[in-house]
């Protein structure tokens, strides 16, 4: 079962603006008429009910949106690049990982049709019309399109089971899921029979809930021992835990504490989930005796249910209790959901700009607007460079650089572009 995949996404590049001039009969020198380039396509992830796994995706695959078309003469605007929509199952969690390993949570796609823009297409460049003014009537340059954003995404699918079965290896979790549902997880008389979570639909009267059989937990699971983190993640989204104890073992309460200790150490609210205790293997006489003794000593944590996954004894009562606990927890969750709005687009960072220094000691201007301008206005072209500097100054960057000791003729960097700072 594929439940976590890392993919690359590349939004489309904006189309270049055009640098054209009107051609008319008898008009020797027509004015500029270059149109703007179209914007690049976005990469969008959409949750859909029709998928239940991430197996359509392959590790490291690149998904690209379309580039914008260049502008044309006669002020013709280039076409926008088409977006791409990547369909993922409901419950997908999307994070972006930057080159230096920084992780940014983008969205939890928890409802059908919920979408998130993961990479925004580049802006189209302006045509030369836009650069004409009283002092420059015939600009020979236009603006380039902006590069689309590239990102590494991790898409993770957490199981959306209502009930998670936890316990030591061999406790009888898979046997219980077989007794409860039509699912046929492998059962074995050896630990770690279950290697991947398996889901089963449990019917209680006219209602159903989904239970997930988990691989056995062992000491140190919260630190990654055994199958560790891999599947502790899965139980995060279940509403209720059924803790299966093998009552034929020497000291079942020690097993109980060990598992709960691991759940608490893992964190993420696992220890706070409602938990029902399944005292398993009561078909075994030793198990029965042990339960009686513990009951008399009032040592059994509440609520507990004596069951035998093997014979089915007590499993329906346990299913009913689990279902009630799920309903109670769903009621609370629905209320929480109402207070939360679906994430549609993470806001773009709109910081103004910052002046710092490169490692080599060159003044460095960062910020989305100045970086965009420097990326798209050609510093090799004197007119375009003049335009760039003029616009940077209008953002207040001239004064900021002056405060930094920059004099006309000094080299500075704006984002990835190096240029000579002129007056
Ligand atoms: N006597 C008896 N044996 C049981 C019962 N439930 C499970 N077993 C046995 O216990 C062993 C382990 O059962 P599983 O259901 O595979 O246990 P598990 O918890 O899924 O184990 P892992 O997948 O390794 O974590 C098997 O030999 C089962 O036949 C029960 O109610 N009574
Ligand atoms: Mg199992």
Report the chain's mean pLDDT, rounded to a whole number.
88
- Domain assignment present for residue 238? The answer is yes
For the CA of 175, the nearest atom of ligand 1? 15
**Which of 231-235, 261-265, 292-296 is predicted least confidently?**
231-235
- Domain assignment present for residue 67? The answer is yes
- Domain assignment present for residue 415? The answer is yes
Mean pLDDT of 17-44: 89
- Domain assignment present for residue 346? The answer is no
pLDDT digits (tens, 9 = 90+) for 333-362: 666 655 554 545 555 556 689 999 999 999
- Give the pLDDT band of residue 142 (cuts 50, 70, 90): very high
Residue 58 pLDDT greater than 80, yes or no: yes
The pick from 169, 175, 291 for probing ligand 1's pocket by mutation, whose C-beta has the most ligand atoms within 8 angstroms, reads 175
Whether residue 329 is found in the same domain as residue 382: no
Residue ending a domain, among 98, 125, 157, is 157
Q: Which residues line ligand 1 (CB under 6 A)?
A: 167, 169-175, 187-189, 191-194, 215-216, 280-281, 283-284, 308-310
Whether residue 188 is found in the same domain as residue 264: yes
Tell me the CA end-to-end span of the chain in Å, nearest whole number: 62
pLDDT of residue 70: 98
- Give the pLDDT band of residue 59 (cuts 50, 70, 90): very high
- Domain assignment present for residue 125? The answer is yes
Whether residue 245 is found in the same domain as residue 326: yes
Residue ending a domain, among 137, 157, 177, is 157
Whether residue 387 is found in the same domain as residue 321: no
Mean pLDDT of 53-78: 94
For residue 264, how far is its CA from the centre of ligand 1 (angstroms)?
A: 25
- Domain assignment present for residue 348? The answer is no
Residue 154 pLDDT greater than 60, yes or no: yes
Mean pLDDT of 124-128: 97
CB burial readout 277-303, b (16+ within 10 A) else e:
bbbbbbeeeebbebbeebeeeeebeee
Domain of 211, in residue numbers: 163-338
| CATH number of the CATH domain containing 401 | 3.30.300
Residue 318 pLDDT greater than 90, yes or no: yes
Mean pLDDT of 156-164: 80
Whether residue 334 is found in the same domain as residue 399: no
Phi, psi of 194 (to 5 degrees): -90, 125
**What is the count of structural domains for the chain?**
3
Give the contacts of 270 (CB within 8 A, at least 6 positions apart). Answer: 232, 235, 236, 241, 263, 264
For the CA of 165, the nearest atom of ligand 1? 19
Whether residue 173 is found in the same domain as residue 147: no
pLDDT of residue 333: 62
pLDDT of residue 1: 43
Three-state DSSP class for 375?
Answer: helix
DSSP of 259-326: HHHHHHHH-TTGGGS-EEEEEE-TTSHHHHHHHHHHHHTT-SPSSEEE--TTT-TTHHHHHHHHHHHH
Strands 150-157 and 92-97 come out as: antiparallel
Q: How far is CA 237 from CA 157, 174, 240, 333, in A?
A: 10, 19, 9, 11
The proportion of the chain whose per-residue pLDDT surpasses 70, expressed as a percent, equals: 92
pLDDT digits (tens, 9 = 90+) for 226-241: 666 667 777 887 889 9
For residue 164, how far is its CA from the centre of ligand 2 (angstroms)?
A: 12
pLDDT of residue 29: 73
Whether residue 93 is found in the same domain as residue 171: no
For residue 281, how far is its CA from the centre of ligand 1 (angstroms)?
A: 8
Whether residue 316 is found in the same domain as residue 381: no
For residue 292, how far is its CA from the centre of ligand 2 (angstroms)?
A: 27
Whether residue 66 is found in the same domain as residue 132: yes
Whether residue 331 is found in the same domain as residue 185: yes
- Domain assignment present for residue 347? The answer is no
Residue ending a domain, among 127, 157, 187, is 157
Whether residue 325 is found in the same domain as residue 399: no
**Which of 91-95, 243-247, 318-322 is predicted least confidently?**
91-95
Task: Tell me which ligand sits closest to the C-alpha of residue 280.
Answer: 1
pLDDT digits (tens, 9 = 90+) for 161-212: 889 999 999 999 999 999 998 877 888 877 777 777 777 888 888 887 889 8
| CATH number of the CATH domain containing 319 | 3.40.50.300
For residue 179, how far is its CA from the centre of ligand 2 (angstroms)?
A: 13
Mean pLDDT of 142-160: 90
Mean pLDDT of 12-35: 88
Whether residue 254 is found in the same domain as residue 167: yes
Q: What is the DSSP letter of 182?
A: S
- Domain assignment present for residue 218? The answer is yes
The pick from 187, 211, 318 for probing ligand 1's pocket by mutation, whose C-beta has the most ligand atoms within 8 angstroms, reads 187
For residue 271, how far is its CA from the centre of ligand 1 (angstroms)?
A: 24
């Amino acid at each position: 079962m594929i439940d976590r995949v890392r993919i690359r996404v590349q939004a489309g590049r904006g189309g270049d603006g055009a640098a054209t001039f009107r051609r008319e009969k008898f008009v020797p020198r027509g004015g500029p008429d270059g149109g703007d380039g179209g914007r690049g396509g976005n990469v969008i992830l959409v949750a859909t009910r029709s998928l239940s796994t991430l197996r359509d995706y392959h590790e490291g695959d690149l998904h690209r949106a379309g580039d914008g078309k260049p502008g044309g003469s006669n002020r013709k605007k280039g076409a926008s690049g088409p977006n791409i929509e990547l369909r993922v199952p409901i419950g997908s969690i999307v994070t972006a990982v930057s080159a230096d390993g920084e992780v940014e949570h983008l969205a939890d796609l928890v409802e059908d049709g919920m979408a998130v823009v993961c990479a925004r297409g580049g802006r189209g460049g302006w045509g030369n019309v836009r650069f004409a003014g009283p002092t420059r009537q015939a600009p020979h340059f236009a603006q380039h399109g902006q590069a689309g954003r590239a990102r590494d995404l991790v898409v993770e699918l957490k199981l959306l089971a209502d009930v998670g079965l936890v316990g030591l290896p061999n406790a009888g979790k898979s046997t219980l899921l077989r007794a409860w549902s039509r699912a046929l997880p492998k059962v074995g008389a050896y630990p770690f029979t279950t290697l991947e979570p398996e889901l089963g639909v449990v019917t209680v009267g006219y209602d159903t809930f989904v239970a997930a059989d988990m691989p056995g937990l062992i000491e140190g699971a919260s630190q990654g021992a055994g199958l560790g983190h891999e599947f502790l993640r899965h139980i995060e989204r279940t509403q209720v835990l059924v803790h299966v104890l093998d009552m034929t073992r020497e000291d079942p309460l020690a097993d109980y504490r060990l598992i709960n200790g691991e759940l608490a150490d893992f964190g993420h609210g696992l220890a706070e989930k409602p938990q029902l205790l399944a005292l398993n293997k009561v078909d075994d006489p030793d198990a029965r005796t042990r339960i009686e003794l513990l009951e008399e000593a009032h040592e059994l944590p509440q609520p507990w249910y004596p069951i035998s996954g093997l014979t089915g004894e007590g499993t329906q009562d346990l299913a009913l209790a689990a279902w009630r606990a799920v309903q109670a927890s769903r009621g609370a969750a629905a209320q929480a959901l109402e207070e939360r709005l679906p994430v549609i687009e993470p806001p773009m960072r709109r910081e103004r700009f910052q002046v710092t220094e490169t490692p080599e000691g060159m003044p460095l201007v960062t910020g989305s607007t100045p970086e965009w301008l420097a990326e798209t206005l050609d510093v090799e072209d004197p007119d375009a460079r003049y335009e760039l500097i003029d616009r940077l100054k209008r953002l207040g960057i001239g004064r900021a650089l002056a405060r930094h000791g920059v004099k006309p003729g000094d080299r500075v960097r704006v984002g990835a572009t190096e240029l000579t700072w002129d007056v």
